Amino acid sequence: MDVIINKIHQLTPSIRAFELISANGSALPTFVAGAHIDVHLKNGLIRQYSLSNCCTETHRYVIGVLHDENSRGGSRCIHTEYKEGDRLEIGEPRNLFEIHPTTQRAVLFAGGIGITPILSMAYRLKQQHIPFELHYFVRTHEMIAFYGNLTEHFAEQIHFHIQDQTETICDMATVLKEVANDRHLYVCGPTGFMQFVMNSAEQAGWSEQQLHQEHFVAQQTDHSENETFTIEVLGSNRKIEVQPHQTATQALLENGFDVPVSCEQGICGTCITRVVEGIPDHRDMFMTDEEHALNNQFTPCCSRAKSKTLVIDLA
């Protein structure tokens, strides 16, 4: 669907908020806190950005976008090639990071740009009168995104932890000491930060069912031992070799097969493909361990094969 960039706010030196409204003036599709949208950029890339506003709002979506120094072209494009009044094509909201229905108390952790889905969760938890605390980690004070929103709406819940201010250092043991089945933890931010929070919670006795995270960037994978494998496309009688330096998606596209792609990191699930025969080498962060164990689907954008051949169904 088409939306218009109604407003752009410079939140930090590297983060901008984009307020999107319907191009035809109608209400936007509803969403649930933690949701994201696919944004189709003019350079041909598709990127996922979390919705940061309150999920009861139907007149707008708000996304926060970090201008990443290591951008693969997505964040650079939206920061430099779009202005207020421009049109964008987006997909309907999808959610891989919902508030668990048994949550009666919550601890929210955000690192840097990870505040975007966490902010939407905070709005929803407050509306539902569910007690929570929000811990926001940044390097410097000027890197706090949505500072006005956080201090105005969540003055009693927000805790800023600023790396260059020792008095704001977080005592994780104290924050996580209360473990209860109805208390859930939600975290979003850089991979290393999230792993630190998850490890801390596990050491404090939190169960896996209480811990929830949202990935923006996939973990780094060692590709040095990649081996060539073959893909057979069901019904085509074609055998396609995937070289060590290639992804399965790249090999398929080069051979004329249409494969939907979006994040290209195994995060969003757009490219999930049915596996008919063979054993995938799962490298995505979208599917669960149980889904991986079935070996009946894989993400060709990043996953490979443990068997010499994978037979897949693109129909």
The answer to whether 247 and 265 have CB atoms below 8 angstroms apart is: no
Alpha-carbon gap, residue 42 to 33, rounded angstroms: 27
Res 222: pLDDT:
64
Per the structure, the count of domains in the chain is: 3
169 and 266 fall within a common domain: no
19 and 58 fall within a common domain: yes
Range of the domain at 193: 105-214
Q: Give the residue-averaged pLDDT of 286-296.
A: 87
> Please, which pLDDT band fits residue 231 given cuts at 50, 70 and 90?
very high
CATH of the domain at 77: 2.40.30.10
CATH of the domain at 203: 3.40.50.80
112 and 196 fall within a common domain: yes
Q: Which of 214, 240, 273 is the last residue of a domain?
A: 214
Res 221: pLDDT:
60
Q: Which of 67, 90, 113 is the last residue of a domain?
A: 90
115 and 208 fall within a common domain: yes
pLDDT tens per residue, range 50-82: 999 999 999 999 999 999 876 667 899 999 999
Residue 104, C-beta contacts closer than 8 angstroms, at least 6 positions apart: 130, 131, 182, 183
For the chain, what is the mean pLDDT?
92
Answer yes or no: is pLDDT of 218 > 60: no
pLDDT tens per residue, range 242-275: 999 999 999 999 999 988 877 777 777 788 999 9
300 and 210 fall within a common domain: no
Assigned domain for 180 exists = yes
Q: Which of 147, 179, 214 is the last residue of a domain?
A: 214
Q: CA nearest 146: which of 170, 119, 111?
A: 119
> Please, which pLDDT band fits residue 45 given cuts at 50, 70 and 90?
confident
Q: Give the residue-averaged pLDDT of 293-311.
A: 94
200 and 126 fall within a common domain: yes
Answer yes or no: is pLDDT of 232 > 70: yes
